[in-house]
Amino acid sequence: MTGVFSLLPEGRHGLLVSPVFGAEPHRGAEDLARYLATGGYAPLSPRHRLLDRIAAVGLRGRGGAGFPAAVKLRAVRDAPGRPVVVANGEEGEPGSVKDRWLLRHRPHVVLDGLRLAAAMTGAARGFVYLSDVPAEQAVRRALAERPADLPVEVVRTEHTYVAGEETAVVRRVDGGPALPTAKPPRPFEAGVGGAPTLVANVETLARVAVMHMCPDAAAAVAGAHLVTVSGPVGSVAVLAEVPAGTRLEVLADLGGHGGAAAVLLGGLFGGLHGPGWTDLPLDHDRLNAAGGALGCGALHFLHPRDCPVALATEAVAYLAAQSARQCGVCVSGTGALARTLTAAARGGAAHDTTDQLRRWSRQLPGRGACGLLDAAARVVATLLAHFPDRIDAHRGAACPACAQAAPEDGRRFTVPVP
């Protein structure tokens, strides 16, 4: 079960300062009339003003890397050729539901953001890229009733961890498999059909649309985040819109995880954080400084009865199973990490297991075509950093939590869409 909450302050007239959720998030899919009533699809003139505003408030992409949105928009705008814009709604992280929720419930705010991105870059056509069937149905309904000032196609893909990586998006839109390609070129240089291409996460586009509707609240819009909060299997998950800098302790309490012993940050990409996690803020730079990453805003809390070795084993085994199998170093690297962790979780840790895992976690990052290998290495590195004695504690016998672990299926991290 998943709940939808907002922790945003109220502005004038009782309206939310940053209403990416919309004023009535529990009413189901928002139709055109409701969206127009909020100020949606307003004309954009001149186009540079919104782009300057996006740069001034420091809006970052919400797909995982947190890259400055204005830099990406300008790179596409300034590249030779007629640009293409893509709304990327393929959530590879099993613990994130924000993008599917937006596409299912507020498709117009995403399409409006795509329209604005096209206007700012000079793009002639757009795409919505997704794998979720209910999201596709909602987007197609919205496309049928929206102002048709930008040709937009829907491209559906198979759901995998790597399908949302930007070069995989371009490859699939061009009719190929949703698998990453070597870089350079990046999509902003040569993307769909060889044209400069903006691949933008749907939450990023939604925030662009809201900033256009509510220019006075641009800073609050840029700083707020949609976060998915989950915990042990069977616990209630939460999708929340929260202000920048919200402490993780507040989010844990919201999901009923106030007594958690650790947190897995950013989906499977941001790594584990043990003692001291309660004071960490929802902030890209400060989480990076603490050795973690905000990623897609998915937070998975571990309760004291949970074992961090079991969680790391399941995370790395899932990533190994999701490898695109195009890079030998990824196949061998994730496989070695998964096998070694699985053996340790079952009580088979050797005297040099910790040193071996530490060496691999330092050597592997940056060697694959996408971020999957980096995610696996970071999970291991942060397990060893925050729980340095736990691998050795499994030597000779598995703990009860590890005995119940289910590698590869991702069940622990999967959250239903509210």
Give tens-digit pLDDT for 108-151.
999 999 999 999 999 999 999 999 999 999 999 999 999 888 99
Same domain, 292 and 378: no
Same domain, 130 and 77: yes
What separation in angstroms does the CA of 148 have from each of 115, 126, 144, 152, 224?
10, 12, 8, 9, 30
Round to whole Å and give the CA distance between 234 and 264. 17
Per the domain annotation, does 197 fall within a domain?
yes
On average, the pLDDT of the chain sits at 90
At 76, is the secondary structure helix, strand, or coil? Answer: helix
Predicted local confidence at residue 236, as pLDDT: 79
Tokens of 73: 């928009």
- Interhelix angle 47-57/107-121, rounded to 10 degrees, is 110
Is 179 or 12 the better-scoring residue by pLDDT?
179
Same domain, 285 and 314: no
Per the domain annotation, does 371 fall within a domain?
yes
Residue 291: pLDDT band with limits 50, 70, 90: confident
Round to whole Å and give the CA distance between 128 and 58. 24
Same domain, 245 and 338: no
CATH of the domain at 98: 3.40.50.11540
Same domain, 271 and 250: yes
Q: Which residues pair with 296 in a beta bridge?
A: none
Same domain, 122 and 180: yes
Q: Are strands 225-230 and 298-302 parallel, antiparallel or unpaired?
A: parallel
Helix (H) or strand (E) holding 43: none
Same domain, 64 and 163: yes
Same domain, 134 and 248: no
Which residue's entry shows tokens 């769909």? 192
Predicted local confidence at residue 369, as pLDDT: 82
Round to whole Å and give the CA distance between 97 and 354. 34
Is 145 or 28 the better-scoring residue by pLDDT?
145
Same domain, 267 and 169: no
Round to whole Å and give the CA distance between 186 and 164. 14
Q: Is residue 406 pLDDT above 70, yes or no?
A: no
Predicted local confidence at residue 14, as pLDDT: 41
Is 292 or 144 the better-scoring residue by pLDDT?
144
395: left (phi over 0), alpha (psi -120 to 50) or beta: beta
Q: Which of 302, 327, 352 is the endpoint of a domain?
A: 302
Provide the residue type at 184 as one letter: P
Per the domain annotation, does 1 fall within a domain?
no
Per the domain annotation, does 17 fall within a domain?
no
Per the domain annotation, does 60 fall within a domain?
yes
At 160, is the secondary structure helix, strand, or coil? Answer: coil
Predicted local confidence at residue 237, as pLDDT: 86
Q: Is residue 16 pLDDT above 60, yes or no?
A: no
Closest of 159, 148, 150 to residue 127, by C-alpha:
150
Are residues 319 and 372 in contact, defined by beta-carbon separation less than 8 angstroms? yes
Per the domain annotation, does 3 fall within a domain?
no
Q: 35 lies in which domain range? A: 26-218
Same domain, 30 and 158: yes
Are residues 117 and 208 in contact, defined by beta-carbon separation less than 8 angstroms? yes
Same domain, 200 and 138: yes
Per the domain annotation, does 6 fall within a domain?
no
**Contact partners, residue 382, CB within 8 Å, separation at least 6:** 271, 272, 273, 291, 292
Round to whole Å and give the CA distance between 152 and 174. 14
Predicted local confidence at residue 118, as pLDDT: 97
Residue 355: pLDDT band with limits 50, 70, 90: very high
Q: Which of 203, 218, 233 is the endpoint of a domain?
A: 218
CATH of the domain at 325: 1.20.1440.230
**Contact partners, residue 86, CB within 8 Å, separation at least 6:** 126, 127, 128, 129, 169, 170, 173, 191, 192, 197, 198, 199, 200
What number is the average pLDDT over the span 192-208?
97
Q: Which of 302, 321, 346 is the endpoint of a domain?
A: 302
CATH of the domain at 285: 3.10.20.600
The 10s digit of each residue's pLDDT in 376-399 is 999 999 999 999 988 988 888 778
- Interhelix angle 98-105/202-213, rounded to 10 degrees, is 50
Same domain, 273 and 320: no
Round to whole Å and give the CA distance between 53 and 191. 26
Predicted local confidence at residue 405, as pLDDT: 64
DSSP character string of 284-345: HHHHHHTT---TTSEEEEEPTTS-HHHHHHHHHHHHHHH--S--HHHHHHHHHHHHHHHHHH
Number of domains present in the structure of the chain: 3
Round to whole Å and give the CA distance between 100 and 89. 7
- Which of 196-210, 268-282, 403-417 is the least confident region? 403-417
Per the domain annotation, does 418 fall within a domain?
no
